[in-house]
Amino acid sequence: MITNKTRQIIKRALSEDKVNQDKTTHLVIPAKEKGKAVIIAEEKGILCGIEIVRFIFKEIDKKIKVKFFAKDGNKVVKNKKIAAISGNLQTMLKAERVALNFLSLLSGVATTAALFVDKVKKTRVAIKDTRKTTPGLRDLEKYAVLTGGGKNHRYNLAEGIIVKDNHLKAAAIVNKKNKVNQMRLEAAIKSLRKKTKFPIEVEVETFQEFCEVAKHYPDIIMLDNFSKKNLVKAVSYRNKHFPKIELEASGGISLKNIETVASTGVDSVSVGSITHSPKALDFSLELK
Protein backbone atom coordinates (compact mmCIF):
# COMPACT_ATOMS: atom_id res chain seq x y z
CA MET A 1 0.00 0.00 0.00
CA ILE A 2 2.78 2.46 0.91
CA THR A 3 4.76 2.48 -2.33
CA ASN A 4 7.32 5.04 -3.43
CA LYS A 5 4.62 6.74 -5.49
CA THR A 6 2.29 6.80 -2.47
CA ARG A 7 5.02 8.35 -0.33
CA GLN A 8 5.46 11.10 -2.91
CA ILE A 9 1.71 11.78 -2.94
CA ILE A 10 1.59 12.01 0.84
CA LYS A 11 4.66 14.23 1.07
CA ARG A 12 3.16 16.60 -1.51
CA ALA A 13 -0.02 16.81 0.55
CA LEU A 14 1.95 17.57 3.73
CA SER A 15 3.99 20.18 1.89
CA GLU A 16 0.83 21.73 0.43
CA ASP A 17 -0.59 22.16 3.94
CA LYS A 18 2.78 23.45 5.25
CA VAL A 19 2.47 21.30 8.34
CA ASN A 20 5.87 22.35 9.63
CA GLN A 21 4.84 26.01 9.51
CA ASP A 22 1.59 25.65 11.47
CA LYS A 23 1.49 29.11 13.04
CA THR A 24 -1.48 28.45 15.31
CA THR A 25 -0.23 25.17 16.74
CA HIS A 26 3.33 26.42 17.25
CA LEU A 27 2.16 29.57 19.05
CA VAL A 28 -0.56 27.97 21.19
CA ILE A 29 0.71 24.48 22.08
CA PRO A 30 4.03 23.95 23.97
CA ALA A 31 6.52 22.06 21.79
CA LYS A 32 6.95 19.15 24.20
CA GLU A 33 3.31 18.80 25.29
CA LYS A 34 2.05 15.21 25.19
CA GLY A 35 -1.49 13.96 24.76
CA LYS A 36 -3.89 11.36 23.39
CA ALA A 37 -6.53 11.38 20.67
CA VAL A 38 -8.91 9.08 18.87
CA ILE A 39 -10.13 8.98 15.29
CA ILE A 40 -13.87 8.39 15.10
CA ALA A 41 -16.10 7.43 12.19
CA GLU A 42 -19.01 9.86 11.92
CA GLU A 43 -21.04 7.62 9.59
CA LYS A 44 -21.19 4.04 8.37
CA GLY A 45 -19.16 2.79 5.45
CA ILE A 46 -16.06 0.84 4.40
CA LEU A 47 -12.75 1.81 5.95
CA CYS A 48 -9.80 2.48 3.66
CA GLY A 49 -6.47 4.24 4.13
CA ILE A 50 -5.23 3.30 7.58
CA GLU A 51 -1.61 2.78 6.52
CA ILE A 52 -1.61 6.20 4.90
CA VAL A 53 -2.85 7.74 8.14
CA ARG A 54 -0.13 5.95 10.09
CA PHE A 55 2.52 7.07 7.58
CA ILE A 56 1.41 10.72 7.80
CA PHE A 57 1.78 10.89 11.57
CA LYS A 58 5.08 9.01 11.50
CA GLU A 59 6.41 11.22 8.70
CA ILE A 60 6.06 14.23 11.01
CA ASP A 61 7.12 12.49 14.21
CA LYS A 62 8.59 8.97 14.30
CA LYS A 63 7.94 8.71 18.05
CA ILE A 64 4.17 9.15 17.85
CA LYS A 65 2.12 5.99 18.41
CA VAL A 66 -0.85 5.09 16.20
CA LYS A 67 -2.97 2.05 17.00
CA PHE A 68 -5.85 1.00 14.74
CA PHE A 69 -8.91 -0.95 15.87
CA ALA A 70 -10.04 -1.87 12.33
CA LYS A 71 -8.50 -2.86 9.00
CA ASP A 72 -8.98 -1.62 5.47
CA GLY A 73 -12.11 -3.25 4.09
CA ASN A 74 -13.84 -3.44 7.48
CA LYS A 75 -17.31 -2.01 7.88
CA VAL A 76 -17.53 0.91 10.28
CA VAL A 77 -20.55 2.51 11.92
CA LYS A 78 -21.24 5.95 13.33
CA ASN A 79 -19.27 6.76 16.50
CA LYS A 80 -16.92 3.79 16.02
CA LYS A 81 -13.37 4.44 17.24
CA ILE A 82 -11.01 3.70 14.38
CA ALA A 83 -7.67 4.54 15.97
CA ALA A 84 -5.94 5.76 19.11
CA ILE A 85 -3.02 8.18 18.87
CA SER A 86 -0.60 9.13 21.62
CA GLY A 87 2.44 11.37 21.73
CA ASN A 88 3.28 14.93 20.82
CA LEU A 89 0.20 17.17 20.65
CA GLN A 90 1.71 19.47 18.04
CA THR A 91 2.17 16.49 15.73
CA MET A 92 -1.46 15.42 16.13
CA LEU A 93 -2.81 18.85 15.31
CA LYS A 94 -0.47 19.40 12.36
CA ALA A 95 -1.23 16.01 10.79
CA GLU A 96 -4.95 15.95 11.55
CA ARG A 97 -6.42 17.49 8.39
CA VAL A 98 -4.17 15.79 5.84
CA ALA A 99 -4.68 12.39 7.50
CA LEU A 100 -8.46 12.76 7.67
CA ASN A 101 -8.63 14.03 4.08
CA PHE A 102 -7.01 10.86 2.77
CA LEU A 103 -9.05 8.64 5.09
CA SER A 104 -12.32 10.33 4.09
CA LEU A 105 -11.66 10.24 0.35
CA LEU A 106 -10.43 6.65 0.16
CA SER A 107 -13.11 5.34 2.51
CA GLY A 108 -15.65 7.17 0.38
CA VAL A 109 -14.38 5.45 -2.78
CA ALA A 110 -14.33 2.05 -1.05
CA THR A 111 -17.83 2.60 0.31
CA THR A 112 -19.18 3.64 -3.09
CA ALA A 113 -17.58 0.60 -4.75
CA ALA A 114 -19.09 -1.65 -2.07
CA LEU A 115 -22.57 -0.20 -2.66
CA PHE A 116 -22.37 -1.10 -6.36
CA VAL A 117 -20.93 -4.53 -5.64
CA ASP A 118 -23.71 -5.23 -3.15
CA LYS A 119 -26.35 -4.32 -5.73
CA VAL A 120 -25.11 -7.04 -8.12
CA LYS A 121 -24.21 -9.72 -5.57
CA LYS A 122 -26.84 -12.10 -6.95
CA THR A 123 -25.22 -12.00 -10.39
CA ARG A 124 -21.77 -12.78 -11.79
CA VAL A 125 -21.26 -9.22 -12.99
CA ALA A 126 -17.94 -7.58 -12.14
CA ILE A 127 -17.98 -3.92 -11.09
CA LYS A 128 -14.98 -2.13 -12.62
CA ASP A 129 -13.55 1.32 -12.13
CA THR A 130 -12.38 3.63 -14.93
CA ARG A 131 -9.61 6.16 -15.56
CA LYS A 132 -11.91 8.92 -14.29
CA THR A 133 -9.79 9.42 -11.20
CA THR A 134 -8.51 12.45 -9.30
CA PRO A 135 -5.32 13.59 -11.08
CA GLY A 136 -2.31 12.32 -9.17
CA LEU A 137 -4.33 10.02 -6.89
CA ARG A 138 -5.05 7.11 -9.23
CA ASP A 139 -2.91 4.60 -7.31
CA LEU A 140 -4.77 5.30 -4.10
CA GLU A 141 -8.26 5.45 -5.59
CA LYS A 142 -7.83 2.20 -7.50
CA TYR A 143 -6.62 0.57 -4.28
CA ALA A 144 -9.77 1.86 -2.59
CA VAL A 145 -11.93 0.32 -5.33
CA LEU A 146 -10.34 -3.07 -4.64
CA THR A 147 -10.87 -2.53 -0.92
CA GLY A 148 -14.58 -2.03 -1.58
CA GLY A 149 -14.83 -5.27 -3.56
CA GLY A 150 -14.65 -3.79 -7.07
CA LYS A 151 -12.17 -4.61 -9.81
CA ASN A 152 -9.63 -2.40 -11.56
CA HIS A 153 -9.96 -1.69 -15.27
CA ARG A 154 -6.70 -0.82 -17.05
CA TYR A 155 -4.55 1.42 -14.88
CA ASN A 156 -3.41 3.74 -17.66
CA LEU A 157 -3.20 4.08 -21.43
CA ALA A 158 -0.15 1.82 -21.58
CA GLU A 159 -1.83 -1.11 -19.85
CA GLY A 160 -4.57 -2.14 -22.22
CA ILE A 161 -6.21 -1.73 -25.61
CA ILE A 162 -9.58 0.00 -25.74
CA VAL A 163 -10.54 1.24 -29.18
CA LYS A 164 -13.06 3.92 -28.29
CA ASP A 165 -15.50 5.88 -30.43
CA ASN A 166 -13.01 8.65 -31.16
CA HIS A 167 -10.37 6.13 -32.22
CA LEU A 168 -12.86 4.56 -34.62
CA LYS A 169 -13.79 7.95 -36.07
CA ALA A 170 -10.22 9.22 -36.26
CA ALA A 171 -9.17 6.07 -38.12
CA ALA A 172 -12.18 6.39 -40.48
CA ILE A 173 -13.47 3.01 -39.29
CA VAL A 174 -16.81 4.54 -38.29
CA ASN A 175 -18.33 7.51 -40.11
CA LYS A 176 -20.53 10.29 -38.74
CA LYS A 177 -23.64 8.12 -39.22
CA ASN A 178 -22.07 5.28 -37.20
CA LYS A 179 -21.62 3.17 -40.32
CA VAL A 180 -18.72 0.73 -39.96
CA ASN A 181 -16.11 0.32 -42.68
CA GLN A 182 -15.64 -3.44 -42.44
CA MET A 183 -12.35 -3.56 -44.30
CA ARG A 184 -10.75 -0.91 -42.13
CA LEU A 185 -12.05 -2.53 -38.93
CA GLU A 186 -10.79 -5.96 -39.95
CA ALA A 187 -7.38 -4.53 -40.82
CA ALA A 188 -7.20 -2.63 -37.53
CA ILE A 189 -8.00 -5.66 -35.37
CA LYS A 190 -5.60 -7.90 -37.31
CA SER A 191 -2.88 -5.29 -36.87
CA LEU A 192 -3.52 -5.06 -33.14
CA ARG A 193 -3.36 -8.85 -32.80
CA LYS A 194 0.11 -8.82 -34.34
CA LYS A 195 1.41 -5.88 -32.31
CA THR A 196 0.13 -6.59 -28.79
CA LYS A 197 -0.77 -9.42 -26.45
CA PHE A 198 -3.33 -7.32 -24.60
CA PRO A 199 -6.99 -8.28 -24.95
CA ILE A 200 -8.63 -6.07 -27.57
CA GLU A 201 -11.66 -4.11 -26.44
CA VAL A 202 -13.81 -2.07 -28.83
CA GLU A 203 -16.43 0.49 -27.81
CA VAL A 204 -19.74 0.64 -29.71
CA GLU A 205 -22.66 3.05 -29.40
CA THR A 206 -25.49 1.29 -31.28
CA PHE A 207 -26.77 -2.27 -31.62
CA GLN A 208 -26.05 -2.25 -35.34
CA GLU A 209 -22.48 -1.13 -34.69
CA PHE A 210 -22.17 -3.92 -32.11
CA CYS A 211 -23.23 -6.56 -34.65
CA GLU A 212 -20.72 -5.21 -37.18
CA VAL A 213 -17.84 -5.19 -34.68
CA ALA A 214 -18.64 -8.63 -33.26
CA LYS A 215 -17.93 -10.19 -36.67
CA HIS A 216 -14.24 -9.46 -36.15
CA TYR A 217 -13.98 -11.19 -32.76
CA PRO A 218 -12.54 -8.58 -30.40
CA ASP A 219 -12.03 -9.99 -26.92
CA ILE A 220 -14.34 -7.45 -25.30
CA ILE A 221 -17.03 -5.15 -26.62
CA MET A 222 -17.97 -2.11 -24.55
CA LEU A 223 -21.66 -1.26 -24.88
CA ASP A 224 -21.76 2.48 -24.28
CA ASN A 225 -25.01 4.03 -23.07
CA PHE A 226 -27.13 1.11 -24.32
CA SER A 227 -30.77 0.94 -23.22
CA LYS A 228 -31.89 -2.14 -21.30
CA LYS A 229 -33.62 -3.40 -24.45
CA ASN A 230 -30.45 -3.13 -26.52
CA LEU A 231 -28.30 -4.64 -23.78
CA VAL A 232 -30.59 -7.67 -23.74
CA LYS A 233 -30.45 -7.88 -27.55
CA ALA A 234 -26.66 -7.63 -27.52
CA VAL A 235 -26.30 -10.35 -24.88
CA SER A 236 -28.68 -12.65 -26.78
CA TYR A 237 -26.82 -12.04 -30.06
CA ARG A 238 -23.47 -12.63 -28.38
CA ASN A 239 -24.65 -15.84 -26.70
CA LYS A 240 -25.95 -17.23 -29.99
CA HIS A 241 -23.17 -16.22 -32.37
CA PHE A 242 -20.05 -15.11 -30.46
CA PRO A 243 -20.09 -16.75 -26.98
CA LYS A 244 -16.41 -16.04 -26.31
CA ILE A 245 -16.75 -12.25 -26.57
CA GLU A 246 -17.00 -10.51 -23.21
CA LEU A 247 -19.55 -7.72 -22.92
CA GLU A 248 -18.99 -4.66 -20.78
CA ALA A 249 -21.73 -2.09 -20.14
CA SER A 250 -20.76 1.51 -19.49
CA GLY A 251 -22.14 5.03 -19.52
CA GLY A 252 -24.78 6.51 -17.25
CA ILE A 253 -24.45 3.76 -14.65
CA SER A 254 -25.80 4.66 -11.21
CA LEU A 255 -26.96 2.91 -8.05
CA LYS A 256 -30.51 3.38 -9.33
CA ASN A 257 -30.02 1.40 -12.53
CA ILE A 258 -27.09 -0.93 -11.83
CA GLU A 259 -29.35 -3.88 -10.94
CA THR A 260 -31.26 -3.47 -14.19
CA VAL A 261 -28.04 -3.31 -16.20
CA ALA A 262 -26.56 -6.34 -14.41
CA SER A 263 -29.73 -8.37 -14.96
CA THR A 264 -29.27 -8.22 -18.75
CA GLY A 265 -26.44 -10.76 -18.67
CA VAL A 266 -23.43 -8.55 -19.42
CA ASP A 267 -20.15 -9.73 -17.93
CA SER A 268 -18.97 -6.48 -16.39
CA VAL A 269 -20.03 -2.90 -15.77
CA SER A 270 -17.58 0.01 -15.65
CA VAL A 271 -18.65 2.81 -13.33
CA GLY A 272 -16.90 6.19 -13.48
CA SER A 273 -18.76 7.66 -10.52
CA ILE A 274 -17.00 5.35 -8.07
CA THR A 275 -13.88 7.48 -8.39
CA HIS A 276 -14.96 10.74 -10.03
CA SER A 277 -17.76 11.61 -7.60
CA PRO A 278 -17.82 9.45 -4.47
CA LYS A 279 -19.28 10.82 -1.25
CA ALA A 280 -16.45 11.24 1.24
CA LEU A 281 -16.87 9.34 4.50
CA ASP A 282 -16.75 11.62 7.51
CA PHE A 283 -14.16 11.08 10.26
CA SER A 284 -13.06 13.26 13.17
CA LEU A 285 -10.01 13.42 15.43
CA GLU A 286 -10.84 14.18 19.05
CA LEU A 287 -8.37 14.88 21.84
CA LYS A 288 -8.97 12.97 25.06
Using DSSP's 3-state secondary structure scheme, residue 38 falls into strand
Handedness of CA 195, 197, 198, 202 (dihedral sign): positive
The region that residue 45 occupies, defined by phi over 0 for left and psi between -120 and 50 for alpha, beta otherwise, is left
Told to judge if 177 belongs to the known catalytic residues of this protein, a careful annotator would answer no
Catalytic residue, chosen from 72, 96, 201, 203, is 203
Helices 228-241 and 207-214, axial angle in degrees (round to 10): 20
Told to judge if 224 belongs to the known catalytic residues of this protein, a careful annotator would answer yes
Catalytic residue, chosen from 151, 164, 184, 215, is 164
Told to judge if 240 belongs to the known catalytic residues of this protein, a careful annotator would answer no
d(CA 63, CA 155): 36
Per-residue DSSP letter, 264? T
- The DSSP bridge partners found for residue 180 are 174
Told to judge if 164 belongs to the known catalytic residues of this protein, a careful annotator would answer yes
User: Residues for the chain: how many in total?
Assistant: 288
Told to judge if 184 belongs to the known catalytic residues of this protein, a careful annotator would answer no
User: Any residues with CB less than 8 A from the CB of 122 and at least 6 apart, and which?
Assistant: none
Catalytic residue, chosen from 94, 224, 238, 248, is 224
Catalytic residue, chosen from 132, 154, 184, 233, is 132
Q: Quick check: 92 and 288 in contact, CB under 8 A?
A: no
Enclosing H/E stretch for 8: helix 4-16
Which active-site residues does the annotation give? 97, 132, 164, 203, 224
